[in-house]
Structure 1
Amino acid sequence: MAAQDNSRVAWIRSRMALLADVRQELERTRPFAGHRIGMSLHVEPKTAVLVETLAAGGAELIGTGNFGSTQDDVVDYLNSLPGITIHGRRDDTLAQHEANIAAVLDGAPDIILDNGADLVAGLVARGTTGTVIGGTEETTSGGDRLRTELAGAVPFPVIVINDSLLKAIGENKHAVGQSAVESFMRITNAMVPGRRFVVFGYGWCGRGVAHYLRALGGKVAVVDTDELKAFEAALDGFRVGSATDFAHWGDVFITATGRPGVLPYEIIEQMHAGAIIGNVGHFPWEIDVETLRARATSTTSLGSAVDRIDLPHGGHVILLANGRMFNLAGSEPKGNSIESMDLGFLLQTLSLVRVVTDRSALSAGPQPVPDDIDRTIARRILAVLDSSS
């Protein structure tokens, strides 16, 4: 499997020009020499290129994938490289995933590369935050946790990659939008044109999903409790209302908020027979899958990421990827485009370099990507786009 994935990584590495450039810099300067990076991140081929880049800068790395999205051949490939240890498999239970998080923390990393704030939460629970000099957080969900659940408890700087406007535009809007629609079509083989879609959330990811669905001919409605985002969605030409308003109308319901409980069972039971529900938010908590399965009269697997769930009133719904991110945890997962992750992972890399080389200029706790990093990367991207035009 390691040999198989080496070829996949080679193709993706060849398309990640931004990381290729910075890798040469890191091989020369080795800013991570003597440091161990603890990583919790979706483990797929693009992630392997990020790990290779950090290792080129001198880092040891101990990590795990996120629950339900790990690609086993990528784990095997990374574990074949010196100085890298990756825990986790695709079919891990939640308990096993939590044990993987604990194993990463047992490895005593002094730099954190987090996705959903699981590692930082573990450090806080253990009372071992003092062993870490700083880190990054990838997601909206993780940034929310740092500013609410973990507020005031993190004594080291955490650069929230998702706060970057560059990432919001390039990765969240365009890459998540593209990959969500592409994955929906691949998993279901269903037609987009003319179908009625309800998108929960009009943040950057929700915007992208809504726009890409409409671009392919879908009829799209948006649900967002934030009046300003709902206003923006309305002016962008989408139908806007509450979940109740669209429960009978929608054919497909996609959550993209990063918040728990946005699609409760009470809404699901109002949907017409055969409605499809799926999530592209980081945590599998946006759809009330627990209640849905508890109330089901029967469940039938229709494929590796498709379940038919029969309901007490005689109807049924189709659940994608058990409520996990179906663009990463679904069948034949591809995730966000190579180019978008090249951008996002360059943000990660340069932010981690900043933590190591100039952390005195950073404050404790969550904070945005420094403006000069955003602008440096924007210039590099424009140069790449100009050279290929």
Structure 2
Amino acid sequence: MTATDTDLAAKGRARIAWIRSRMPLLAQARAAFAATQPFAGHRIGMSLHLEPKTAVLLETLAAGGAEIIATGNFGSTQDDTVAALREAGMTVFGSRADTLEQHAGNIRAVLDGAPDILLDNGADLAAGIVERGTQASIIGGTEETTSGADRLRGELARTVSFPIVVINDSRLKAIGENRHAVGQSIVESFMRITNLMVPGRHVVVVGYGWCGRGIAQYFRSLGAQVGVVELDVMKAFEAALDGFRVASLTELAGWADVLITATGRERVVAGDVFDLLRDDVVLGNSGHFPWEIDVATLRADASSIDQVDDGIERIHRPNGRSVVLLAGGRMFNLAGREPKGNSLESMDLGFLLQALSLERIATDAGGLFPGAQPVPDDIERFIAARFVEAMGAAR
């Protein structure tokens, strides 16, 4: 290990220690797993954002006997966390500077390690298993995101023969992590990266799922005027009654000072929409995959590009207007400058959902059905009670 690696590992250890001290739900699970060893003899392959909160989850699984082989997601890996986990003896691939091609190689490396349980984000590992035709080697797994759940219920629906618990189907995660934590972290990341004022600014949120709801709510709470673009008429109805301006993207594109995608869908902001945007509009994506904004076309059509820093590029368009792109179109609360991600409390909740769902896979996979499915109800109710207790609201 080089001096740089040693320094990175020390920084990572310090950050992980602080975060571990603020995650009491995972602390309880870690103590229980140490006694029961539910993952003894199992190898967990992970593809999930690699940052200090994730490290506490991996420690919890390792305490239960799991062997860990892991990589992060494209653009959001934090190198100090990787160094600390490697120092602790875990097999971890990837770095923040990885290209998409290198990231794909990291996914292959995890699968080459022959895991029998998957901890997936975006269904990359599940898709890799299907491509290899090695489904029989997997007893089950979890999936973190809506984007991954869409793949599991779409292109992979007929080929995944093992149970996958979709954490994002959990109402607990929807409320605690997606709405409140993503909403908070997107707004504070916007302020940290751009140093722009929120009050009075026109913010358009594309997508009114749980994440979109939270982003709209938290921007409005700081004084922004918020518009919502939503194709699902029932969600659009809800957004209108929640007091937001609801209209099409073409109607709101020229009104927006800030436009944030939260859909999980490809090329939501693309084509003629770029020509409708006002000068110096800020574009950011909160979805898992970096495909909601058609960044390739935006860059290809540019008259020039100013790389302001690692979180901001100012793209000058032939029409004389400019677009400010955050984090290259990646999830900017985790891939932008000084990434913090979701709050510690919300990830304590979300990662306990992960830990207990993985425990169910390890100990009772036969009691679950093949393919994507929600978190078992008894796990949800148990965690809801523990979270309320942890917040002191039960007194």
Report the TM-score range of the alignment, normalised by the length of the smaller protein. over 0.9
Q: 1:134 aligns with which of 132, 140, 155?
A: 140
Partner residue, 2:126: 120
Q: Which of these residues, 332, 345, 348, is aligned with residue 342 of structure 1? A: 348
* Secondary structure class of the residue paired with 1:286: coil
Query: Offset at 1:231?
Result: 0.4
CA distance in 2, matches of 1:282, 1:265: 21
CA distance in 2, matches of 1:383, 1:349: 19
Question: 5 Å matches for 1:175-214?
Answer: 175-214=181-220
Q: RMSD of the TM alignment (CA)?
A: 0.9
- Give 1:318's match in structure 2, choosing from 314, 324, 345: 324
Counterparts of 1:362-381 in structure 2, within 5 Å, are 362-381=368-387
Contact residue 388 and residue 394 of structure 2 kept, 8 A: no
Matched, 1:286 2:292: yes
The Cα of 1:360 is off from its aligned counterpart by 1.4
Letter in 1 for 2:126: V
Q: Structure 2: which amino acid aligns with 1:242?
A: S
Structure 1 spans left out of the alignment, 5+ residues: none
Q: Tell me, yes or no, if structure 1 residue 70 matches structure 2 residue 74.
A: no
| 1:332–1:28 Cα change, 3 Å | same
Measured after TM superposition, the shift of residue 3 of structure 1 is 1.0
SS at 1:309 equivalent: strand
Superposition TM-score, scaled by structure 1 size: 0.99
Match of 1:60 among 62, 67, 70: 67
Cα shift readout 1:164-185 (whole Å, capped 9, x = no counterpart): 0000000000000000000000
> After the TM superposition, which parts of structure 1 deviate over 3 Å for at least 4 consecutive aligned residues?
none
* Number of residue pairs the alignment of both structures matches: 388
Deviations 1:225-279 (A, max 9, x none): 1001000000000000100001111100000011111111311221111110000
- 1:42-80 Cα offsets, whole Å, 9 max, x none, are 000000000000000000010100000000010000011
Please give the residue correspondences for 1:134-153 in structure 2 after superposition, counting only pairs within 5 Å: 134-153=140-159
* Residue 14 in structure 1 maps to residue 21 in structure 2: yes
Distance (whole Å) between structure 2 residues aligned to residue 372 and residue 135 of structure 1? 18
Structure 2 CA distance for aligned equivalents of residues 268 and 15 of structure 1: 43
User: Do residues 26 (structure 1) and 33 (structure 2) align?
Assistant: yes
**Mapping for residues 167-178 of structure 1, pairs under 5 Å:** 167-178=173-184
Match for 2:337 among 319, 331, 337? Answer: 331
| 8 Å Cα contact 2:119/2:143 also seen in 1 | yes
2:11 to 4, 7, 25: 4
Take 1:287 and 1:192, find their aligned partners in 2: how far apart are those partners? Answer: 22
Describe the SS at the equivalent of 1:112.
Answer: strand
Q: State percent identity of aligned pairs.
A: 65
Unaligned runs of 5+ in 2: 1-7
Matched, 1:229 2:235: yes
- Out of 95, 112, 129, the position equivalent to 2:101 is 95
Q: Distance in 2 between matches of 1:213 and 1:249?
A: 16
State the match for 1:39 in structure 2.
Answer: 46
Report the Cα distance in structure 2 between the residues aligned to 1:147 and 1:270, rounded to whole angstroms: 34
- The question of 1:154 aligning with 2:154 is answered no
TM-score normalised by L of structure 2? 0.97
Q: Aligned partners of 1:225 and 1:387: how far apart in 2?
A: 37
Find the aligned partners of 2:171 and 2:155 in 1 and give their Cα distance: 24
Distance 2:32 2:275 in 1: 55
